Amino acid sequence: MDRFRMNTGSATDTNMGNSGRIGWRMSYALLCFLFLLAGASLAGQLPGNRWELLAIVYPPDREILIEMGGGEKTLTVKGFCKVRAKKDATSLEIEVKGLAAPGEIGWSGKQYVLWAFDRDKRAVNLGLVPLNSKSAKWSLSVPFRAFGLLVTAEQDPKATTPSTAVAMEGLLPTNPDLVVPIYRLEIGLAPAGS
């Protein structure tokens, strides 16, 4: 009954017990680290009409390709954005595939608008997404080098605040060896259809 008194092992057995405890602790620490790492790489919808967006600081005179992913209702949408930063402006070439019209998805917005957010969380309406049969390809420029991208369904193409109808967001650069500063921005969204 009393298992603690029954231990007749040698000093070697005691060391094995310690290494077992150390191994368990290391495994637990590794598991916690992996959960934190997984959570740290995610951005997206937050409670209360907010969104967490990744803003990337693009190095000048270098072409960077970032992936664009779909939102809650548009998970299968794929997109890429080729970014080339200069001293005073940044050029973007964007391609989107598989994006259905807002009404087909159940949003009240009539069109999609592309937004850029700088590090100070200022939203810039970059205009309509030229959607043609679930695809779009276009070029434009933004006035800064550090920003995050968001595509939302909007009633008004000249909206000043993006709606909660998030169709796509800019993700991380596709080159896993690229090291650039990345900021997490928590931004406020207007209720869809307002």
pLDDT per residue as tens digits for the range 46-72:
677 788 999 999 999 999 999 999 988
Determine the Cα angle at 64 with ends 138 and 141, to 5°. 40
**In contact, 53 and 121? CB cutoff 8 Å:** no
Judge if 50 and 134 occupy the same domain. Answer: yes
Q: Which residue, chain included where needed, has tokens 């995610």?
A: 42
Instruction: Kindly report the backbone phi and psi dihedral angles of residue 101, in degrees, each rounded to the nearest multiple of 5, phi listed first.
Output: -60, 150
Judge if 164 and 111 occupy the same domain. Answer: yes
Q: Which residues of the chain have pLDDT under 70?
A: 1-46, 192-194
Judge if 3 and 83 occupy the same domain. Answer: no
Residue 118, both tokens: 């700088």
Residue 174, both tokens: 């596709």
85 found inside a domain: yes
3-class secondary structure for 96-139?
EECCCCHHHHCCCCCEEEEEEEECCCCEEEEEECCCECCEEEEE
Judge if 179 and 125 occupy the same domain. Answer: yes
For residue 105, give every residue at least 6 positions away whose Cβ sits within 8 Å of its Cβ, in sequence order, or none: 73, 74, 153, 167
Judge if 85 and 22 occupy the same domain. Answer: no
Residue-number span of the structural domain to which 136 is assigned: 46-188
* pLDDT value, residue 24: 52
Work out how many domains the chain is built from and give that number: 2
Judge if 82 and 178 occupy the same domain. Answer: yes
* pLDDT value, residue 18: 53
Judge if 60 and 37 occupy the same domain. Answer: no
Judge if 74 and 113 occupy the same domain. Answer: yes
Question: Alpha helices of the chain — where are they, by DSSP H?
Answer: 11-40, 102-105
Nearest CA to 41 out of 150, 182, 180 is that of: 182
